[in-house]
Amino acid sequence: MKYSLLGLSRRNLALIASAAAVAATLCSASMGSGASQLSRHALRKPLPFPWNVVKVNVPGESNTEVTGINSLPVPEIVGDYVSSVTSGVSNYRSFYATVPSSGTSITSFEDASYPVTYKDKTTLHGTEMNAINSLSTSGVPVLVGVVSSPGDQNGNWAVVFNQGLWSLTNNPGTFKGTVGDGYLYGINNQDIAVGYHTKNASCASCSPIAYFVAPPERYADITFPSTISTNVQNAIAYGINASGDMVGIVEVSAGWESWYALCKSSGCPTESGSTSGSGFNSDAYCWGALDNGGSMFRTTAYAINDGSLSVGGVATREVVGSYSDGSGVTHGFLVQVSRTSANVCQQVGNSFQKIDEPDAASLTVVRGVNDAGDIAGYYNSSGSVHGFVGIYNGAAERRRLRR
């Protein structure tokens, strides 16, 4: 089974059967004849590539992915790679690194792999860190991700690497009287993390449930309003920014679609005191969908920044992710979204941009975007997966304007 819920990654962590179904669904080339606003924009000729590419390949290892990027003046990235293969199963390790101010490659990497020996050697998959925040006062960032069967524990556990210290977050399924899996994909500068969990790792029909984690040890499921669906079957939160805006994917009656939620009040989980309640306040957000579920273009929204642009006086956010076209080619994308004065979420005009790493063969996935407009992700070429960072040509000016 593939670890990526789009079926785009070469990962092979042990997942629940429902997550495998997610991958199969999202990888389908066609699920209907309707075309969403996003897919129509995808048909446009791509704009010139406005990023300077930095290649990311861990020396001596294979299949490097970059899964996140932060917003420091000198950005840092996080990712993973295949360290070995045991009985046909790929074993993964993670890293973080500083993006060089010049040059076209990264040569220095810091290990970010969970140190404890794994219990089940036959299904060893390792550590996959998925996000890095911008708090680095000690020189060491905060990373979040997932580790498979750590120590004497079963299942997949959400894990935090906090300035050199490791911690497994309490498996949220245990709060419901069962043991489930936990995954973290995004973190912001308030140490609010998002991801998904399952209620019981052993059941064959467990559904992914989007949730957020707030210190200290506070968990809450993310509930969706009727404007998204009255019947959300599965949901995953992939990204969260400093303002509490979030992105992810959700399965509704019509299929899968990417969602975004922009904070409009003090009820968002980054606000003081708002994480002490027993539930999640969906009314604190305006909600929007990047894909209507009926298009053959399958999209996944992976990350959202705090924006550095203004459209009509309304601050915009940039959302990145990937989609598969009708020929089976996977492209990255960047699109602007905004919240109007009436607290309505909307996609900004024709802001959708298709992203193909210049050396990519048939797959480009954009996993991260920072406030300067730099992006990070991975692509395939010559039968291997390679990481990349795209430094936005106007990033220096955007950073200056945000000071």
Domain locations along the chain: 24-402
Backbone dihedral angles phi then psi of residue 40, each to the nearest 5 degrees: -65, -40
What is the per-residue pLDDT for 15?
A: 34
Query: DSSP alpha helices (H): ranges in 3-94?
Result: 17-27, 37-42
Closest CA to 52 of 399, 393, 396: 393
Give CA–CA dist 396/194, Å, rounded: 29
Note the pLDDT tens digit of each residue in 339-349: 888 889 998 88
Task: Give the mean pLDDT per block of 10 residues along the chain (403 residues).
Answer: 37 35 33 34 50 94 96 92 79 92 88 73 73 74 88 82 83 59 91 86 70 80 86 92 93 84 82 57 90 61 84 78 88 92 86 91 96 95 94 63 42
What is the per-residue pLDDT for 360?
A: 95
What is the per-residue pLDDT for 205?
A: 58
What is the CATH architecture assignment of 24-402? 6 Propeller (2.120)
Query: Do 387 and 105 meet the contact criterion of CB atoms below 8 Å apart?
Result: no
Query: Do 109 and 58 meet the contact criterion of CB atoms below 8 Å apart?
Result: yes
What is the per-residue pLDDT for 17?
A: 33
What is the per-residue pLDDT for 230?
A: 78
What is the per-residue pLDDT for 310?
A: 59
Q: What is the pTM of this model?
A: 0.84
Give CA–CA dist 176/166, Å, rounded: 25
What is the per-residue pLDDT for 41?
A: 38
What is the per-residue pLDDT for 103?
A: 79
Instruction: Name the strand (E) or helix (H) holding 65.
Output: strand 62-69
